[in-house]
Structure 1
């Protein structure tokens, strides 16, 4: 059993030049050489970087590991994240019964049955967006014309947020999830978004609809079971996560498929079963939550021959674990006919992504519809000139110019 090694390389999410779809090479090397290693964070503090798939599964399911980012020494992602840790606390940063109680409010809203009921509406939104792209004609930015409005429209309808306010909440979200944002700017954007959602939830008391915020207002705000601030925090989490992650998966996944014509053709021409497997493979291959699952050890934990002490910070690098050769054959290859869901793109354990059923449905419908509508789809500039989101909490592309 070992403890902290002397070398503590700096944590980075920077990709190798020309390799925008692969994890940072330094982290990938650690998977082979030192799968549980100390790294230095932006603050100068250190954390254990865990890269092996099996070790991450064990830790993320261990009740001795905390998600509470208000605790001392928690490895927040940036100065802005550190500044917002009390302001933005929602159920993803809670542990045990508190986490379960808050999460249970929304499990029915994101169930498989609820997603099946939403499918016709999602299909109509996709058709309308593709019709718009076709009318306008090439070139187009796939992010602004399709990848971003699709999940934004869906989550707005689910929550009861007016889509006409999308410029405001998308701009605020981008500020909040940018690791380069100054703390003051992040706090301002967070406050503005919370105030907006708090006002909206209160308005639902007077004019309820068939949406999640109306249910929050009637079942929790009106009865005193939750405060306006509680409702706003939870709504903010669902709104931001509901559009940022899927939008980037649509755009980045399309970009990756365009580099692999045979894989693209398989998705375009495949049946529902193949497309479902292709979505799982793209989730594994791209792992857009590239900042890792952040945790804090609450007790001494021995894992992989390493002793993690109580109070130590832990980062589970899920993008690297999803390339673990002990779990995936030829892990650095994109293979849309690969079978199995052993990836941890949505995490695992009690904090596994609440919205994964919605994300899967949107992706399973979006990719083939886009590729069948525009069989000649291609990048409108070289891959090296595409701006990738290295410094955002959610990886992807800022824009994706395409023609057809």
Structure 2
């Protein structure tokens, strides 16, 4: 390993873990003037020690309002402070809450889960939140009092012996029809009862934790959500999670696309007639990037002729840098040769933590890597817990043909410098 200039010191593992969290696939669901974070795709994997894992979660989500990927809250101990999660408002993927002993997880501002990614078909999965060695410890309070809508995916809540009040929630008001609701939960005796004005449905004690209905109470004329039982209380059809008024600018969240403060069916294009050339010229007012309309595609995304931002060009097109923008160009005949490979966090390596003996051969002759190059201690020495074999360090020479790694960009401020949230604007 010295010949390759690589040293794997245990104290440096947290650096690699931070890099992995930081460079999980970037998405486009950024909102105007809201702090966003990338989220994770680790499922039930613990990254390092319990304290290292907690530190990484805290760095990722402190101040974060929009999670672009999945929100995975795992392995929080009873002495941990989970208040760093209280600013989160939207999650694009799934929410997984598992193997926690902490008493309270204050997701008090979470209003919508989009379910673009699912965990075992669930957009909300809450399980095994107790301490096996001390039955007096475990998750008791999960006051998601602003949660109004799960756009797709099921709800699974099971094996949380100390969790209170979630069995009182009218989940059919939150979950779209056709998705299963599996709540194997009954509030234990130590749990508070719902306040009288909650009418039997609450997230915790007191009137502030009453469940607010935005679908089951709506008038028949309403296209989706509402803020009351009257026909005049209907939300606009492009609203998700409720609204403060009838217009597309009054939505608490957008069902499909957000352009500034407005919720839209699709991002708008502008076609203009050129009097000089007598031709119709197609111009994009905004690009469609995830669920957001943006003036330009973010770093690592490619622009298509259809006004969209994509992470990979289609099979009949290829990527070309053009005036500082990565553009997908349709092939005129056979596409130019050059091997583009998936890196950590992309495609077949989406759920993989690091380069290792099982995937190093995939990088042979690669010129462009879509994703990250992550090398951890177990990349070389293997990991018996995940049944990962040791790898000959000489195999790292297979990386020598790589000319570009799309998820790493040094000496710029275009990427966040740590796992903390970043601010993205669409106007």
State TM-score, norm by structure 1: 0.20
State TM-score, norm by structure 2: 0.20
Could you say which structure has the larger radius of gyration? 2
Give the number of the structure whose residues are more often strand, by fraction. 2
Give the number of the structure whose residues are more often helix, by fraction. 1
Where relative contact order (Cα < 8 A, 6+ residues apart) is larger, the structure is: 1
